[in-house]
Every structure is written in structure tokens, then in C-alpha cells.
Amino acid sequence: MSHMLFARSRLLRRLGAGVLAAFLASAVLAADPPATPAGAAPPVVSPAQREKIEKAVGAGAQALAPAPAAAPAAAPAEAATDTRGLDQEIQGLKKDVVDLNRDLFVLEEELLFPANTQVAVFLSVDIGDFFALDSVQLKIDQKEVINYLYTPREVDALLKGGVQRLYVGNLKVGPHELVAFFNGKGPSDRAYKRGASLRFEKGVGAKYLELKIADRQRKLQPEFEIHDWE
């Protein structure tokens, strides 16, 4: 093996410098989510040194010689483009899936509950200090149409101001009666069951009814009402 003059110290300093440069390049930002250690870049070796190595080690070294410093810098830019292109494509796909969801929901409701015969019953809770809701049962014209059990998450959503569309169905034009039973925990954490009823007239067009559970401070009791949204 032919010997060569080789600036070992210079080469090995470049190894450290390579790590340093890569580290500083990645150690830019700390307000990101906590970053993990940046990987060290391959050491930077000058073309002259690479030539010397190739001569010393022979043909087998050619495939192993590191690429020039410029090449790694190009790869991240290409990777960023690919990522962004894919990201845009996936954004578009997501939007299309959301639109499809909407159209399917619209179709299902128009097929099952046409506007002329639709009746929807909503439920809202006001404050909730005197009544913790567990379940609601609805009867329309003496027939049970839904018996709904609430999860803690759903109750929380109601307390925040959400209004649940509890039931949607079809009714003929004419007089009908809605009866609602509310089960839960009342004041002093005792089991509590109350009912409310409403006779209403179903006309042509959708009918919306709201079940309201409200706290009445004067009485320290919850009140249950059914409100007809004419």
C-alpha cells in the first residue's frame, strides 16, 4: 500500500466541525415541541482529501466516499417540496371526504325525514346545579320513540351550552302529544324522575320542539318544560 502524507489532525477536526455545523443547523428553535437530539451530519471531507483516500484505498473506496457538502443541503429542500405537495393533496382529499359526509347526511335525512312530515325534539340544559341528567325517554302519541342514556361527556357538552337533537321522526298533520320523562339526580343527590307533556299541532312543514331543563333558584328545584318553536 502506498503511503500518503495525510493531515490526520485536519481531517479529524473536520469530523468535529461536521457534527458542529449539523448541530447548529438543527439547534435553531426551542419553542417547538421538545426536539430530540439532532443527528450528526456526515463529516465534511474536501475533494482533495477524497481523491487521496481513493488513491490510497483503491477502487473499493469510491462507493464509500462521502458526497460533497452541497448535496445534503439539496435533499432537505426536495423533501420539503414533496411533503408540501403531499400535504396539499391530503388536504384536498380530506375536504372532499368532509363534503361527501355532508352530502350523505343530507341525502339520508331527506330520504328518511322529508321536511313536510319531519318532527325534531331537542334538549337543552340550563346551569345544572339542581339536576344531573342520566337519561331521557320520549313518547309521542303514547308510543315510545326513544330512550337515551347520556355519557358524562355528553352531559358536559349540554352544560356548556350545546343543544342535542334528541329525536327526529315523521308525523302526520294534525294534533299530537309529546310526553318526556327525565331521569337523573336531583338536589341532595337523590334519584329524581320528572315528566313533562305538550299537545301540539303538526302542520305542513318541519316541527321543532325543545325540552328545557332549567334551575329555578327560587324553588331550589329543577324545572322541565317543553317549548314549541313555531
Find the binding residues for other proteins in span 170-199 (CB under 8 A).
none
Cα gap 156→55, rounded to integer Å = 74
79: burial class by Cβ within 10 Å (0-12, 13-18, 19+)?
exposed
Q: Per CB under 8 A, does 101 bind other proteins?
A: yes
Nearer to other proteins, 39 or 195 (CB): 39
45-to-3, 75, 141, 189 alpha-carbon distances in Å? 19, 18, 87, 76
- Please measure the distance between the N-terminal and C-terminal CA atoms of the chain and give it in whole angstroms: 99
Q: Is 226 in the site for other proteins (CB under 8 A)?
A: no
Please name the amino acid found at residue 44.
V
- Contact between 4 and other proteins by CB under 8 A: the answer reads yes
User: Residue 74 interacts with other proteins (CB under 8 A)?
Assistant: no
Q: Is residue 7 near other proteins by the rule CB under 8 A?
A: no
- Rounded Cα gap, residues 4 and 57, in angstroms: 11
Which residues 148-167 are close enough to bind other proteins by CB under 8 A?
Answer: 153-154, 156-158, 160-165
Q: Rule CB under 8 A: say whether 64 interacts with other proteins.
A: yes
State which residue, 142 or 172, has the beta carbon closest to other proteins. 172
CA-nearest of 106, 113, 210 to 163 is 210
Q: Which of residues 195-224 bind other proteins (CB under 8 A)?
A: 204, 208, 210
Nearer to other proteins, 4 or 48 (CB): 4
Per DSSP, the three-state class of 135 is: strand
Q: Which CB atom, from 24 or from 149, has the smaller least distance to other proteins? A: 24
- Choose the stretch contacting other proteins; rule: CB under 8 A; options: 25-33, 133-141, 182-190, 193-201: 25-33
Q: How far is the CB of 62 from other proteins (least distance, A)?
A: 10
Residue type, 102: R
Residue appearing with cell numbers 483516500: 53
Is there binding between residue 56 and other proteins (CB under 8 A)? yes
Among 10, 68, 73, 99, binds other proteins (CB under 8 A): 99
Q: Which listed range, 55-63, 133-141, 177-185, 217-225, lies at the site for other proteins (CB under 8 A)?
A: 55-63
Nearest-CA neighbor of 136 among 171, 72, 183, 97? 183
With CA atoms as reference, report the closest residue to 119 among 105, 135, 138, 137. Answer: 138
The nearest distance, CB 188 to other proteins, in angstroms, is 20
Which residue carries 325517554 as its cell?
137
Nearer to other proteins by Cβ, of 49 and 221: the residue is: 49
